[in-house]
């Protein structure tokens, strides 16, 4: 790449869901802190809070996916993705041209691998293109093996052996691998992520090298993989950096009244329950969770998004109002960092998993879809920071199993091992983003390349 005279400028293109916006925005902040100008492209105005200071270094611009917020909600992926590709490529090209005319020429497009056309736009405009994977290296190996025809799912019966990974059972695979009917288009979306990646200048992964050494090393043979995680705001990794407390752009409005409530609880006593931004639980699953909370008698903080609230058992909160709190969205990082949290019942979305590992909170994994089963397998068997709850009624995990799992991580024999591992992963993830750590070095290498070659 030519030596740039101006301050290098990256355009960041996330897939427009919370679990992708968060890590890509946080990565943007790390780049901005190293002197890169950032334009962050989203679909519409998102919530920001007063203490989100990123706005001085990062401009947020909008592009189009060809939908309005009303029509988008009803669109299915097989129709949505090609429409987004067409409208997105056009509006992204126009945005890059507009920025160039304003004297803010873009040098590199960092595109979410869910939007592989971002690389084509970059190349057409003569720009650098860098891929960004929001899921783990281990999960990427599974999809890459499918992309390359190295794994034939038609013959997956019991265990799957893939390079860089422990032996996986069929139930440890990402859900879309064996079930392509329930969420049409998702399997193709995940496998198509690798289109062109081998030619992209960098392939960033929101993970930590030390968490997945073998998997990362294997992927590096095929693409320019750089782990850059954990992409969580710096304050949680270094208490002196108070200014970087939230991710900063939210599709949901957080209710922070729960922080006051948490203050009144005892250390390590609270069960925190959240299934992220997308899961749609079966009504019976909500009943089993509510029963579990009642049976444990422990204080709880439960995030139930407003679209899920009608599934709560009738009268549950009237009965349990002395025991716990339900909110529709919370500042999850602040919650996980609070010393009253003793256990996280989670769907094992990759962000939630990395956040809990980085903040030392043991997990009970109740995966819902996508990569979550694989993440839960690693939480239990590789990082030993929690247990995976097993469904006993179809896809629903019953309250007896959930109570067993909660006891196991909060007071059982294994809780001591998890406590020690929590300290280990907390140190290790912090070390990765500290100056000279594995992730920091990878980010610095990218920045130096953009600035003109010297690393």
If one asks whether residue 316 binds ligand UDX (CB under 6 A), the answer comes out as no
If one asks whether residue 224 binds ligand UDX (CB under 6 A), the answer comes out as no
Q: Which residues contact 73 (CB under 8 A, 6 or more apart)?
A: none
Shortest Å, Cβ 351 to ligand UDX: 3
If one asks whether residue 77 binds ligand UDX (CB under 6 A), the answer comes out as no
Residue 306 or 448 with smaller CB distance to ligand UDX: 306
Residue 176 or 194 with smaller CB distance to ligand UDX: 176
Shortest Å, Cβ 134 to ligand UDX: 6
Catalytic residue list contains 199 = no
**x/- map, 116-145, ligand UDX, by CB under 6 A:** ------------------xx----------
Shortest Å, Cβ 321 to ligand UDX: 20
Q: Choose the stretch contacting ligand UDX; rule: CB under 6 A; options: 18-26, 84-92, 99-107, 149-157.
A: 18-26
In angstroms, what CA-CA distances link 288 with 18, 248, 270, 282?
A: 26, 33, 18, 10
If one asks whether residue 349 binds ligand UDX (CB under 6 A), the answer comes out as yes
Catalytic residue list contains 112 = yes
- What is the phi/psi pair of residue 38, to 5°? -125, 135
- Of 52, 107, 112, 244, the catalytic one is 112
Shortest Å, Cβ 448 to ligand UDX: 29
- What is the phi/psi pair of residue 107, to 5°? -100, -30
**x/- map, 369-408, ligand UDX, by CB under 6 A:** -xxx------------------------------------
Residue 352 or 438 with smaller CB distance to ligand UDX: 352
Q: Choose the stretch contacting ligand UDX; rule: CB under 6 A; options: 125-133, 157-165, 186-194, 367-375.
A: 367-375
Q: Catalytic residue positions?
A: 20, 112
Residues at the site binding ligand UDX, with contacts judged by CB under 6 A: 18-19, 22, 134-135, 274, 276-279, 303, 329-330, 332-333, 349-352, 355, 370-372
């Amino acid at each position: 790449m030519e030596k740039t005279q101006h301050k290098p400028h990256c355009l960041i293109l996330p897939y427009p869901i919370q679990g992708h916006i968060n890590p890509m925005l946080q990565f943007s902040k790390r780049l901005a802190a190293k002197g890169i100008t950032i334009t962050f492209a989203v679909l519409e105005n998102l919530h920001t809070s007063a203490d989100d200071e990123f706005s001085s270094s990062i401009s947020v611009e909008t592009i189009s996916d060809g939908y309005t917020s009303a029509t988008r909600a009803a669109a299915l992926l097989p129709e949505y993705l090609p429409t987004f590709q067409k409208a997105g490529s056009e509006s992204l090209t126009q945005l890059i041209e507009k920025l160039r005319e304003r004297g803010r020429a873009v040098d590199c497009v960092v595109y979410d691998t869910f939007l592989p056309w971002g690389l084509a736009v970059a190349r057409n405009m003569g720009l650098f293109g860098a891929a960004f994977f929001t899921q783990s290296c281990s999960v990427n190996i599974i999809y890459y093996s499918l992309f390359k025809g190295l794994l034939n799912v038609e013959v997956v019966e019991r265990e799957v052996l893939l390079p860089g990974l422990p032996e996986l059972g069929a139930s440890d695979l990402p859900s879309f691998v064996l079930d392509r009917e329930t969420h049409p288009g998702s399997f193709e979306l995940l496998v198509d992520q690798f289109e062109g990646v081998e030619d992209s200048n960098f392939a960033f992964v929101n993970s930590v090298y030390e968490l997945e050494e073998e998997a990362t090393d294997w992927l590096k043979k095929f693409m320019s993989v750089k782990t850059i995680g954990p992409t969580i705001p710096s304050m949680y990794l270094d208490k002196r950096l108070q200014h970087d407390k939230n991710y900063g752009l939210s599709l949901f409005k957080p209710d922070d009244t729960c922080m006051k409530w948490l203050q009144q609880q005892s250390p390590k006593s609270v069960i925190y329950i959240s299934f992220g931004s997308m899961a749609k639980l079966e009504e019976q699953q909500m009943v089993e969770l509510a029963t579990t909370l009642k049976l444990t008698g422990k204080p709880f903080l439960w995030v139930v998004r407003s679209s899920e609230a009608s599934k709560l058992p009738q009268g549950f909160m009237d009965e349990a109002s002395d025991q716990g709190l339900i909110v529709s969205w919370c500042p999850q990082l602040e919650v996980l960092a609070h010393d009253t949290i003793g256990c996280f019942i989670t769907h094992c979305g990759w962000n939630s998993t990395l956040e809990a590992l980085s903040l030392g909170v043991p997990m009970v994994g109740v995966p819902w879809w996508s990569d979550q089963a694989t993440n839960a397998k690693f939480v239990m068997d590789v990082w030993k920071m929690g247990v995976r709850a097993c469904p006993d009624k179809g896809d629903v995990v019953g309250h007896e199993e959930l109570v067993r799992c909660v006891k196991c991580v909060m007071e059982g024999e294994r809780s001591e091992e998890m406590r020690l591992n929590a300290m280990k992963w907390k140190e290790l993830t912090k070390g990765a983003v500290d100056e000279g750590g594995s992730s920091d070095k990878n980010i610095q290498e990218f920045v130096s390349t953009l600035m003109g070659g010297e690393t």
